Amino acid sequence: MHELEPRILYEDNHLIIINKLPGELVQGDITGDKTLADTVKEYLQVTYQKPGNVFLGIPHRIDRPTSGVVVYTKTEKALVRMHALFRSDDAVVKTYWAAVDRLPDAEEGLVVHYITRDTKKNKSFATKERRKKSQEARMTYRGVAASKSFYLLEIGLLTGRHHQIRAQLAAMGSHVKGDLKYGAKRSNEMGGIHLHAREISFIHPVKDERLTVTALPPREAIWDYFVSVAAEGNQPSRRLGE
């Protein structure tokens, strides 16, 4: 069995959807590090005995320290159609989980900011006022559970901006566990941050039927606790808002 197989969430002739680990690159960057795309290509080449270069389309990406659902395409036809879906703000329903150090003032709501990207710092800033070259960023959130030190937020990503969730949460005074770049007090021992692309839902680009794929977070104490609360309806150790 190929090392990637336990992390394949869905596969057919057109798509392959993977549960990305924190720290993995979706596609190549200036670091030259091996990417998840490289691993997926190796899997396809070995599993289906494909000679030469293997086609793999990359219609979207998530940040390197983030874990969770990543969609790749196995055909150009699917790639073109998935690009079109991702360009539309409402065609792809994206749900994230974030473990944060502080609950926002309201336990749920719709938040709208304007995102300004600083390419030199590879960082984005979220403000209530529109700035030059800024882009509107919208997301919903709701508090789901609390542990002794962190809160679990479920986030509906309505637009796709650079570091959007991380920047918007920081602007709200909530910091993703381990995310030093956006205000967390300390890094995670194993690297990465506690932001997870939990679920994605869209109309299949070829089969024309709804596809919904859900990914478990990495095995780790805080994630394991929040998964148990969500799955079994357990009472959190501290109620939201206290």
Tell me the per-residue pLDDT of 75-103, one tens digit each, with 9 for 90 and over. Answer: 999 999 999 999 987 899 999 999 999 99
* Amino acid, res. 231: A
Determine, yes or no, domain membership for 9. Answer: yes
Tell me the per-residue pLDDT of 196-233, one tens digit each, with 9 for 90 and over. Answer: 999 999 999 999 999 999 999 999 999 999 999 887 65
Tell me the per-residue pLDDT of 141-173, one tens digit each, with 9 for 90 and over. Answer: 999 999 999 999 999 999 999 999 999 999 999
User: Strand 67-73 to strand 195-203: parallel, antiparallel, or no bridges (unpaired)?
Assistant: parallel
Tell me which residue range forms the domain holding 90.
5-232
Determine, yes or no, domain membership for 239. Answer: no
- How many Cβ atoms sit within 10 Å of the Cβ of residue 42? 15
Query: For residue 164, what is the domain's CATH number?
Result: 3.30.2350.10
What's the number of domains the chain is made of? 1
Determine, yes or no, domain membership for 88. Answer: yes
- The predicted model scores a pTM of 0.93
Determine, yes or no, domain membership for 238. Answer: no
- How many Cβ atoms sit within 10 Å of the Cβ of residue 189? 8
Average pLDDT, integer, range 6-23: 97
How many whole angstroms separate alpha carbon 111 and alpha carbon 139? 6
Determine, yes or no, domain membership for 100. Answer: yes
